Amino acid sequence: MPLKILTIEDDPSITTFLNVLLTIYEMQVIVANDGTSGIELARTESPDLILLDLMMPVIDGWKVCREIRKFSQVPIIVVSAVTNKERIAEALIAGANAYLEKPISIEELVTKIKQFVPHKT
């Protein structure tokens, strides 16, 4: 059974990129292009891991992370262009397990995913 990754990201070019590359690694990718859909998919799809952007309209990634933590302990890796250390710390305090800065290397991402769900990879 493939690893199920939920990507919550408002930029369709990034979600397409992640979908194509992670599929090569035999991972199933579910996409939410906004925080509200991401929270709902986290609840209904039971992903093995979530990739989360911070800078999104309506509901930002910090709030999404806090909402997901109310009902799930699924690993959350923030993938964002935010470089401010205080804002990154806020994401970790909100419940994220790790932070990767954009642009990311696919090798670094896959290594981080395997670190959090080794039993499925």
**CA nearest 36: which of 56, 17, 51?**
56
Q: Peptide bond before 47: cis, by omega within 30 degrees of 0?
A: no
- What is the C-alpha separation between 8 and 50, in angstroms, rounded? 7
pLDDT digits (tens, 9 = 90+) for 64-99: 999 999 999 999 999 999 999 999 999 999 999 999
- At 120, the pLDDT band (50, 70, 90 cuts) reads low
- What is the C-alpha separation between 112 and 79, in angstroms, rounded? 11
Per-residue confidence (pLDDT) for residue 94, from 0 to 100:
97
Q: What would the 3-class secondary structure string for 58-69 be?
A: CCCHHHHHHHHH
Residue ranges of domains in the chain, CATH in brackets: 3-120 (3.40.50.2300)
Per-residue confidence (pLDDT) for residue 119, from 0 to 100:
73
pLDDT digits (tens, 9 = 90+) for 15-64: 999 999 999 999 999 999 999 999 999 999 999 999 999 999 889 999 99
